Amino acid sequence: MCGIFGIENNTNASVLAFAGLITLQHRGEESAGITSNGDGITYNSHKSMGLVSQIFKEKILNNLLGSVAIGHVRYSTHSESTLLNAQPFVYNCIHGNIAVAHNGNITNFEEIKNRLAKSGSIFNHTSDTEIVAHLLAENTGKTFGQIMKKSVQSLKGSFSLVLIHGNKLVGVRDSFGFRPLVLGKVDNSYILSSETSAIDAVGGDFVRDVKPGEIIVIENGKIVESLQFIKKTKEKLCIFEQVYFSRPDSMLCERSIRDARVQMGKYLAQQMKHIKADVVVPVPDTGIFSAKGFSLYSGIVMQTGFIRNHYVGRSFIKPSQKMREITAKLKLFPIKDVINGKRIVLIDDSLVRGTTAQKIVATLRNVGAKEIHLALSSPAVISPCFYGIDTPNKSKLIAAVKSVEEIKEFLNVDSLTFLNIDSMKKACGNGKVNNFCSACFDGKYPSPIDRRKLLV
C-alpha cells in the first residue's frame, strides 16, 4: 500500500500536500516525498526515508514553491525500500517535465520493462512506477489526457496515479479500481487523494470517486478532461481497504469505513452466539470498531485491554519479518486488571502470518487471561495478493498452510472464528457497489496473474 495526494491551483499547495500526507501516513511509513511545480517548468522535490513529520520541516516546505503539488507515502511491495525508490519520480521527456506518484502494483511490469529496455530505455529506479514515464515518452496525442490514455492501456494490475504536467494535476485509476482514488475540492482547488480523510484534513469536500479506468486532468481549478482509457471496466475495489488499510474516518464506495467495521463486528457476534465471555477486547486500532459492533450485538461489554504505543508503526507494513517482530513487541501493552481472570473475546482485523497474534495472545496469557476467543473481522487469508499488499508468498500465510485446529494450537487460543466471506462483503457494500476484489480470501483473482507465483 501507499498513499497519494495531489492538489492544484493553490498557493499553499505543498503545505496542503504535507497535511494530506500526514493524514495518509498509515498507508506507508518507509519514505515520503512531495513534488511541486514552481513556474510551470521547474519542479521542486523533497523526499526522504522516514515519517512525513520527520522529513518535512517549515523551511523545506517553504522551498517547495508552486500552485500544484503531489505527494506520496511509501510502503514497498514491489521493489526495495530505499531512497532511490521514494516517490514522486520526476522525468523530463518529449512532453516536458512530468512528476508521478503511484499506489498499486503493475503486474506486467517485467514484460513491459524488457520490451522498453530492448528498444534502448534506461531505468533509474527498480520500481514498477518508472515504466509509466517511459510509456508516456513513447506516445503522442492532442491532449495530455489522450497521451495518458495510450500510455496506460497496456498496464495490468493495480494503479492509482497522481501526476503533474505543467500546471495540470492528473489522476488515473486502473480499470478494476483496485486502489481507491477520490476527488475533492477546497475553495477553487481540486484535490486527488487515496482517502477522503485527507480531503477533510485540508478543509475540503469530497466530490466523487475517480472511476475505474478514468483519466482526469485538472487545470486552474477546472476539470479539463475526463476520459475512460478502456471501454470495459469492472469495479473490484480491494476489500482489505475496509478491513484494515483505510482510516475509519474515511469513506469508500460512499460508505463509512467505521460503519462497515461495526457491521463486521455484529456479523461476527452472530457467528459466535455460543461463546460465553466476560469482556470484548479490540486489538487497537483496526479492531476497535468491529469490537464495538460485536459488543452492541452480543451485549458483552467492550473494554480497552491494550494501550498502544503510537510512536511505533503498524506491524503489518514493516518491510521485514524481524522489524515486524520487534515492532509488535513494543506496540501493545496490556491493562492487567481488564484481562486478569477474564474470558476474553479478542477482536482483530485479519490473520495473515499469525506471528503478531501469537505474541498478543501470549501477552494476554501472561497477565492472567482465563479464556481467549480470537475473532477476526475477515475470512482466513489463503492466497497472496498481487495488487499491492505485502503477502506475496503463500507459504507465509498461516491459514494457507495450517488447519483451523492447527492455528488454534499455534496461537494458543480457546476458539478461533473468521468472519464468513458473504458477511464481510455485505458489511462493506453500500447496496450499489458490491464488487470487491476478495482474492486473498477466496483465490478468485479478477485480472490475470502469473499462476506460477501461487506455487511459491
- 8 Å CB contact between 379 and 239: no
Cα distance between residue 129 and residue 271, in whole Å: 42
Q: Which of 4, 268, 437, 449 binds ligand SF4 (CB under 6 A)?
A: 437
Question: At 73, which helix (H) or strand (E)?
Answer: strand 68-74
- Considering the rule CB under 6 A, would residue 148 count as an interface residue with ligand SF4? no
Span from 80-88, 114-122, 236-244, 289-297 in contact with ligand SF4 (CB under 6 A): 236-244
Nearer to ligand SF4, 229 or 387 (CB): 387
For ligand SF4, which is the closer residue by CB, 399 or 437?
437
- The amino acid at 317: I
Does 416 interact with ligand SF4 (rule: CB under 6 A)?
no
Residue of 2, 238, 385, 440 marked active site: 2
Report the residue from 19, 147, 238, 251 that binds ligand SF4 according to the rule CB under 6 A. 238
Footprint (CB under 6 A) of ligand SF4, residues 171-210: 178
Contact criterion met (CB below 8 Å) for 30 and 74: yes
Pairwise CA distance, residues 369 & 364, whole Å: 6
Smallest distance, ligand SF4 to C-beta of residue 56, A: 29
Asked whether 264 and 424 are in contact (CB, 8 A), the reply is yes
What residues contact residue 405 under an 8 Å CB cut-off, 6+ apart?
none
Q: Does 428 interact with ligand SF4 (rule: CB under 6 A)?
A: no
Task: Look up residue 19 and give its amino acid.
Answer: A
Specify the stretch interacting with ligand SF4 by CB under 6 A; choose among 31-39, 82-90, 406-414, 438-446. 438-446
Concerning whether 2 is annotated as a catalytic residue, the answer is yes
Establish if 438 lies at the interface with ligand SF4 (CB under 6 A).
Answer: yes
Binding status of residue 239 toward ligand SF4 by CB under 6 A: yes
Residue 182 phi/psi, 5° resolution?
-120, 155
Per-residue DSSP letters for 209-266? EPPTTEEEEEETTEEEEEEESSS-----EETHIIIIIS-TT-EETTEEHHHHHHHHHH
Residue 389 touching ligand SF4 (CB under 6 A): yes
Q: How far apart are CA 160 and CA 192, in angstroms?
A: 10
Smallest separation, CB 424 to ligand SF4 (Å): 10
Minimal distance, residue 388 CB to ligand SF4, in Å: 6
> How many residues bind ligand SF4, per CB under 6 A?
11
CA distance 267 to 284: 19
If the CB atoms of residues 106 and 437 are measured against ligand SF4, the closer one turns out to be 437
222 is written with which cell numbers?
477546472
Segment interacting with ligand SF4 (CB under 6 A) among 196-204, 209-217, 234-242, 323-331: 234-242
Q: Which residues are designated catalytic? A: 2
**Which residues lie near ligand SF4 (CB under 6 A)?**
178, 238-240, 385, 387, 389, 437-440
